[in-house]
Amino acid sequence: MPNCALTFKASAALAVAALLFASLAQPACAQTSAFVVRTTAGPISGVARPGGGAEFLGIPYAQPPVGDLRWREPVPAKSWTTVRDASSFGTPCAQPVLGDWNRHDAERSSEDCLYLNVITPAWPSKKPLPVMFWLHGGANMGGTASSSLYKDGTLPEHGVVLVTVNYRLAIFGFFAHPELTLESPHHGSGNYGLMDQILALHWVIDNIASFGGDPNNITVFGQSAGSMDTGMLMASPLSKNLFRKAIAESGAPFMPPLNSLAEAEQAGTGLATNLNVPAGTDPIQYLRQVPAHDLLAKVANVKGRGLGTGPDIDGWVIRTMTAETFANGQEAAIPLLIGTTAREFGSAEPPDELRKTIERSTGELAPRALALYGLAGDAQGTSDPLYGAASDQWGADAAFHCPIAIEAAWHSAAHHATYEYELDHAIPGQEAQGAVHSSDLPYVFGYFPKSGNIAGHFSATDYKLADLMETYWTNFARTGNPNSDNLPRWPELDGSHLYLQFTQNGTAVVSAMPLRGPQCSLFREVMIQRMNLAH
């Protein structure tokens, strides 16, 4: 960027030229300096946002977790003195190619990735605005906060400061091993990605006022793995007091169930063995020296273990089963807005295989479960116009609908304001497959992709639905209640367990019954049985 502390030592003969140069340089400096913000680590320079406001991209909140810092708690970014350019994204975190949805991110990913982005609706802000802190999805294996989907939509224009965060993924973010536990001052390993999110929250608390945000009004929100992680942050003693509200979209923090530290260490030991660490070599020392993409390639070639890392009960970040934390009302005592899409991820299992899956999952409750999905005896399963075939229903219920409904019910039972929803509106052009996983993202962010798996032929109905959902979401971030006078009323979850449905025609209506009531009632019994067996 230009140096705005210009000095001139021109002779009298060059005075006119010097003054002319200074007059030409001044507007550029004034424009640039208008977007300079001093953070706790040093000054940064953002850029104007089309239509108003400003954006500050690629801000480091931690030192690059490379070399000896791989698989360690994140360390705050080193200070700098000159103005740092913040006009472009940082790199996505190192990740394997999981499909077309993350191929672009994976191919340009790096371990040097602990950056966040701040987007404001006005610059300078006239008053402190609520902060929405976004955790992207991707199974804690892929994805990035550095995306037009999250940056270029209309969500900030509803009066919030938006922060999107990169955090370590896959083996770099969630690898447990006895040697890592031994070297840790907290005697745990495996949750480095969650530690990144917690450090980013501290950065926001320390710095967001300089961007026009209110550090005392932070809402953590996320989708898919980001939603699961949001629940884990609510459960963690390290973070549950760092934010005031939470929004969880399509993910609960106890599904899939977290491994114990011992189980995670065992899996990590097996993975290290299959990565052909030379005999007699310290496995962690050796693996820290393997370049990031070489390590990802090695992991991908380990049959049956390639994706075997995830959050665990490490005794530090997560200290007990997250299901127990919520069941006992020990999570963050904050308002929660939580929900799902109608179809999420289904499965394509034929009836006989689906029967076996349900029987393995539900044990002695299997006869009831099979009847609910029309699979008793030799029956071939019951289809539903909204939720799809029996296999679609089971997949979405077991992984999303019911864990989310249970989390909402437990949070409400602890006397915390809870608002539940279901998105039934399919992306236009995808009506045959229904409202699948990630269908909510265009409407939450007010951004309508022209390519990719959530692209569609969006129309006025979609723009209206986006404005409706963005208004609910930002009302909630502002006050802890999504309602306002100009919106259909969204009831707080109570004993009736009614929720808000965003319908195919783009409206919002209150449900007539609990979300997947009979199915989720049975699933709750299964969960409680599992929790009791774990003791």
Could you list the active site residues? 224, 344, 437
Q: What is the CA angle 126-148-504, rounded to 5? A: 95
Report the C-alpha gap between 115 and 275 in whole angstroms: 29
Burial of 535 (0-12, 13-18, 19+ CB in 10 A): exposed
Assign 395 to helix, strand or coil. helix
How many distinct helices (H) and strands (E) make up the chain?
Answer: 18, 16
Q: What is the 3-state secondary structure (H, E, C) of 7-66?
A: CCCCCHHHHHHHHHHHHHHHHHHHHHHCCEEECCCCEEECEECCCCCEEEEEEECECCCC
Report the C-alpha gap between 31 and 213 in whole angstroms: 22
| Peptide bond before residue 124 is cis, with ω within 30 degrees of 0 | yes
Report the C-alpha gap between 116 and 433 in whole angstroms: 34
Q: Are strands 213-223 and 245-249 parallel, antiparallel or unpaired?
A: parallel
Tokens representing 222 are 């996320």
Q: Which amino acid is at 494?
A: D
Burial of 374 (0-12, 13-18, 19+ CB in 10 A): middle
